[in-house]
Amino acid sequence: MTKIKGIIAAMQTAMHEDGSINEGELRRQINRQIGAGVDGVFCMGTNGEFFVLSAQEKIRIMEIFVEEVKGRVPVYAGTGCIGTQETVDLSRKAGEIGVDVLSVITPYFAAISQEELYRHYAAVAEAVNLPVVMYNIPSRTGVSLAPKTVSRLAKDFPNMVGVKDSSGDIGNIRQYIRETQGLDFAVLCGHDPLILETLIAGGRGGITAIANILPTVLVDIYQNYLKGDMERAREAQNAIGKMCDCVKYGNPNTVLKYAANLIGQPVGPCRKPFDILPQEAVEGIRKTIDTYYADYKNI
């Protein structure tokens, strides 16, 4: 089973101006990330705009990733849907395509209990042979995956191998780590400013959106941590701070796609209606790129 660790690039879905998928650019971005040294590439996460992709598009994107990666790094795919059966169906399809690891977001929109969350994830774990990483992002879903629920699932299902936490709460990350102590279970940071703190606390790495802008810097955080060079690891962590701050300007997906285009990575727009930034945001992102990008891209 794939070892869950390191810097996993939460990749943007490259699109043409009309919102259709730009397959050629998506393939180029996959190779860019692998060339930067990431430990895995992740399609159809929040940063990949899974919420505006059709089922057919999701299948094609997974095919593109598996075809282009050619086994060089693990391919992670977001297969979580609101309903359990739809999640199971897409997860099984991912296995047929050759995806290595599933990332399954909590169901969203409707209120849900911890027992319902347990049964949802249990159904997915029972339906597939692939490793499953749970995905906690309460700011978007309206529900938080409790540490006790995570540990219960990890103990009950051997292919429930990790959790990605995008809450921005290091305390919650530490609880996940404590509750799964002694298990072969990976806690991953989904909030880029906390990647190094997560590693120090006992986490295994991060699934990172900022890798779309500064992939080598994200790799440096992890690699220097592994070497025990905490000064350089901290320097790399600090180097992404200004880019992380730009998400204050609006939808993080829209902000980071605009930034990627600015630095010469033509990933196109976000799909409508999530494609507008106010002038203040445009100016702020441009200033951040002009001021910091050249210094930090090869730190």
Of 164, 225, 257, 258, which one is the catalytic site residue? 164
Of 76, 118, 121, 135, which one is the catalytic site residue? 135
For residues 172 and 30, give the distance between their C-alpha atoms in angstroms, rounded to a whole number: 31
Question: Quick check: 134 and 164 in contact, CB under 8 A?
Answer: yes
135 catalytic residue (yes or no): yes
**DSSP character for 180?**
T
DSSP codes joined into one string, 109-131: SS---HHHHHHHHHHHHHH-SS-
Among the listed residues 39, 125, 111, the one whose alpha carbon sits nearest the alpha carbon of residue 80: 125
Amino acid of residue 278: P
Question: Quick check: 79 and 102 in contact, CB under 8 A?
Answer: yes
Which pair of tokens denotes residue 107?
A: 């169901």
How big is the chain, counted in residues? Answer: 299
164 catalytic residue (yes or no): yes
**Is residue 109 left, alpha or beta, with left meaning phi > 0 and alpha meaning psi from -120 to 50?**
left
DSSP SS3 for 175? helix
For residues 68 and 97, give the distance between their C-alpha atoms in angstroms, rounded to a whole number: 12
Active-site residue set: 135, 164
